[in-house]
Amino acid sequence: MIHLTHEQIAKRAYEIYLRSGSLPGRDEENWIAAETELRREIETAQADAKPKPNGHSSVHSPVKAKPATASPIAPAVTVTTHMSAPSCGCSAAPASKAKTPKARKAKARF
């Protein structure tokens, strides 16, 4: 059995009232129409959710996305790093080396 709440019916009856041009004096007619529409929608949704004789339901499952594949040739990216004096303002050399090393180039792989 389909159970509708007072709030559901009242909301739909008001929507019907607005759709019909806000005509006064049709409260009962709008209420009955609201109940009818809501019951029909629920029955249709329940019927669509039931499995069909072939074992499949009429509700379509979302399409699963295929995993992204990398392009066969990925572009090479060159990353350049520079070792420089500390940004704090002092002239101290890095603890590991006394000299500032030259820039290094490295290729990043993806």
Q: Is the model more confident about 8 or about 93?
A: 8
Q: Is the model more confident about 89 or about 37?
A: 37
**pLDDT at residue 100 is higher than 70:** no
Q: pLDDT tens digit string along 29-83?
A: 999 999 999 999 999 998 888 876 765 555 555 556 555 555 455 455 555 555 5
As a whole number, mean pLDDT of residues 91-102 equals 54
Nearest to 37 by CA among 61, 54, 22, 17: 17
Q: Hey, which residues does 78 pair with through a beta bridge? A: 107
Q: Hey, which residues does 80 pair with through a beta bridge? A: 105
Cβ proximity of 4 and 12 under 8 Å: no
What percent of the chain clears pLDDT 90, i.e. is strictly above it? 38
Q: What is the mean pLDDT of the chain?
A: 74
Confidence at residue 59, expressed as pLDDT on a 0 to 100 scale: 55
Q: Is the model more confident about 84 or about 29?
A: 29
